[in-house]
Amino acid sequence: MIEAPFLLYLGHSTDPVGIKTSRGLAEFRRQDCVGEFRHDDCPLTLDLPRMSMTEGAAAGAKTLVLGIANPGGTMDPELIEDASDALRAGMHVVSGLHERLRDVPELVAMASALGLQLIDVRDPPADLPVGTGRPRAGRRVLTVGTDCSVGKMYAALALTEGLRARGEAADFRATGQTGILVAGGGVPLDAVVADFISGAIELLTPAREDEGWDVIEGQGSLFHPSFAGVSTGLLHGAQAEALVLCHDPARLQMRGLPERRLPGLAECLAANLQVARLTSPGVRAAGACLNTSSFAEDEARALCAKTAHLLGLPCTDPHRFGVEAIIDNLLCPERSAPATIASR
């Protein structure tokens, strides 16, 4: 268990997407966040009080969350020194990076001497099974994306709450470090050996007989050369009855690959449906979610309307406008017409 309250780490980050784990906690578990730690050259903020390690501990923080992501998920010497300062201040340290805290000898020695914990979120369970693709009971919806970091977790959390608001049993199934920290559990899919990716999702979303929903957080993109393998295994293991496509209309190139443009929305959706049919022949598209945070409200509503017309599906920004139209389509697809928040 990760002990709250949290002090959220931004460090030297300059990329807004790179602080998505800290941002996710500030958004979905704000009551558990006492402040943010950032160096003077960091222009980003979560609109939390800026604190030193000592000030964070004095304000009640029990854990420093290294809520940043960088290419390769590595820890540089300055980050290690910041983690050391957090331990000296009396806080546990949690990391979602690929490089493990437990592999840094000086941190291990210090934590042991002080009776504090080092927690690596990107640790998959032991003895994961190989996926089988055999049919299993239950209703599952998976968020997929045109790229990584386009809002798949936000959409999945919104869909979970939307289903619950309709009286449906629904559980958010986290597959990335941010989702795991928000939900308190899950499987860090990008740390799973490739042979076991689909089996890990089958384990995360076992058969259920209560007519309830598992809302599965997507990862990567079938069109991103770096992460398409994870996305493929996730599609096969999820055996979803419905997919929700997520997209950031402000983004023109793949994250980390500026020479590669994003796919068209219809092309991306068709490819995801085709891959999903291997284990879920009846899979369908339930809607689209846009991250319109870079656009004014009128522009955002127009983008949702344009996308709904293009795909023939409900489209919304789940964070700004809710997910009612997509929930309608999930629960009563035969009665749902293409709709957007702009037309509601």
Helix (H) or strand (E) run with residue 198 in it: helix 197-204
Evaluate whether 2 touches 94 at the Cβ level (below 8 Å): yes
Distance CA 307, CA 247 (A): 10
> What pLDDT score does 1 carry?
73
Q: What are the structural domains, with CATH classification, of the chain? A: 6-120 (3.40.50.720), 139-343 (3.40.50.300)
Complete edge-to-edge strand list for the sheet that includes strand 242-247: 170-173, 213-216, 139-145, 242-247, 284-290, 315-316
Question: Reduced to 3 states, what is the DSSP secondary structure of residue 335?
Answer: coil
> What pLDDT score does 335 carry?
61
Query: 45: how many CB neighbours lie within 10 A of its CB?
Result: 13
Evaluate whether 244 touches 142 at the Cβ level (below 8 Å): yes
Nearest CA to 229 among 274, 194, 264?
194
Nearest CA to 294 among 255, 320, 325, 269?
320
Distance CA 7, CA 67 (A): 10
Complete edge-to-edge strand list for the sheet that includes strand 118-120: 33-38, 6-11, 63-66, 92-95, 118-120
Listed in sequence order, the residues at least 6 apart from 18 whose beta carbon sits closer than 8 Å to its beta carbon are 68, 69, 70
Query: 3: how many CB neighbours lie within 10 A of its CB?
Result: 14
| DSSP classification of residue 278 | T
Per-residue pLDDT of the chain (344 residues; tens, 9 = 90+): 789 999 999 999 999 988 989 999 999 999 999 999 999 999 999 999 999 999 999 999 999 999 998 777 889 999 999 999 999 999 999 998 989 999 999 999 999 999 999 999 988 988 999 999 999 999 999 999 999 999 999 999 999 999 999 999 999 999 999 999 999 899 999 999 999 999 999 999 999 999 999 999 999 999 999 999 999 999 999 999 999 999 999 999 999 899 999 999 999 999 999 999 999 999 999 999 999 999 999 999 999 999 999 999 999 999 999 999 999 999 988 765 454 444 33
Distance CA 158, CA 317 (A): 10
CA 139: distance to chain centroid?
20
Evaluate whether 33 touches 26 at the Cβ level (below 8 Å): yes
Entry field: residues in the chain: 344
Helix (H) or strand (E) run with residue 95 in it: strand 92-95
- At 233, the amino acid letter reads G
Helix (H) or strand (E) run with residue 257 in it: strand 257-261
Distance CA 272, CA 222 (A): 7
Nearest CA to 140 among 160, 118, 111?
160
Distance CA 196, CA 91 (A): 34
Distance CA 248, CA 267 (A): 15
> What pLDDT score does 344 carry?
38
> What pLDDT score does 342 carry?
42
Distance CA 289, CA 301 (A): 12
Distance CA 121, CA 184 (A): 10
Distance CA 28, CA 26 (A): 6
